[in-house]
Amino acid sequence: MQNLQELYDKYQISEKNISTGNLSKLNKTIEDLDKLDKVLLLSCSNRFNWDSNDVDIPKSTILAMVIQGALGDKAILIDVPELNIAPCEGNVSRKDGNNCGLKKAVLKDKNKNPTGFHRCWASLNNKEDELWKISKELFDSNAVIFFSSIRWGQANQFYQKLIERLTWLENRHATLGESNVIKDIQSGFICSEQNWKGLDVVDTQKRVHTFYGFKPNDKFYWNWQFTSKVTDETQTSYKEAFPTFVKKFGLDKLY
């Protein structure tokens, strides 16, 4: 079988492999977020832990935790993989048209939906769905920052499930012609990855958030990537990634 480099050369694959995140970028993000009254941090990475005495926390989640620690009571951190979030039902592209986010899809629960803005069929059809825990905080925030790992060139499944379930935010103003209820909420996307596609994913998600109607802040969109060599899949590389990450963001006292 051909090695990875031969395959990349054969198909002329060229990628952006730039790591834009560092301690200075992290500190600047914290400084700017600290000017706001309330910030929602959504961590979308997961990790199975075999040893309860040696917990392995995803790198992007660590960044979210550091930001929360710096902002204190101003920040709400939600671990998205811990929530029961049903898949998007695809009502945005039914054969009879776009039915996503219609007024009759409103979640009729004052505790879960105090603003009345939460309109999602999947919330109605899945009684145990917990997307409301995110939307309730979102509508009460000045900014939302999404954190994700990159897996096979895309933001991971937890982020993708979440952003798809929030399609009704975009649909409300883009298709239904109603008001944009998130136009004043700043957004950001911070991700970590080993060797492939980080910057591309950041660029794509900033475009997605723009479509949705958020107010993207360029300072809140960045990535950390261990190596710029796409074909480096060695065990040595993976083992070196975490200590390098710790050093890059000045986390030596924590890890």
Helical ranges in 151-234 per DSSP H: 157-165, 167-174, 198-212
pTM: 0.94
Query: Which pLDDT score is estimated for 2?
Result: 62
Query: Which pLDDT score is estimated for 67?
Result: 98
Q: How far apart are CA 86 and CA 132, in angstroms?
A: 11
Answer whether 114's CB lies under 8 Å from 181's CB. no
To which H or E segment does residue 182 belong? none
Query: Which pLDDT score is estimated for 217?
Result: 98
Answer whether 153's CB lies under 8 Å from 200's CB. yes
Query: Which pLDDT score is estimated for 53?
Result: 86
Structure-token pair, residue 10 = 């054969």
Exposure class string for 214-243: b at 16+ Cβ within 10 A, else e = bebbeebbbbbbbbeebbbeeeeeeeebee
Query: Which pLDDT score is estimated for 254?
Result: 80
SS3 207: helix
Query: Along the 255 residues of the chain, how does pLDDT read in single tens digits?
Result: 467 677 667 655 556 668 999 999 999 999 999 999 999 999 999 999 998 888 899 999 999 999 999 999 999 999 999 999 999 999 999 999 999 999 999 999 999 999 999 999 999 999 999 999 999 999 999 999 999 999 999 999 999 999 999 999 999 999 999 999 999 999 999 999 999 899 999 999 999 999 999 999 999 999 999 998 888 889 999 999 999 999 999 999 887
Give pLDDT tens digits for 59-101. 999 999 999 999 999 999 999 999 999 999 999 999 999 999 9
**Kind of pairing, strands 39-43 and 154-155?**
unpaired
DSSP character string of 121-147? HHHHH-TT--THHHHHHHTT-SEEEEE
Exposure class string for 7-42: b at 16+ Cβ within 10 A, else e = eeeeeeeeeebebebeeebbeebbebbeeeeebbbb
CA torsion sign for 80, 197, 59, 209 is negative
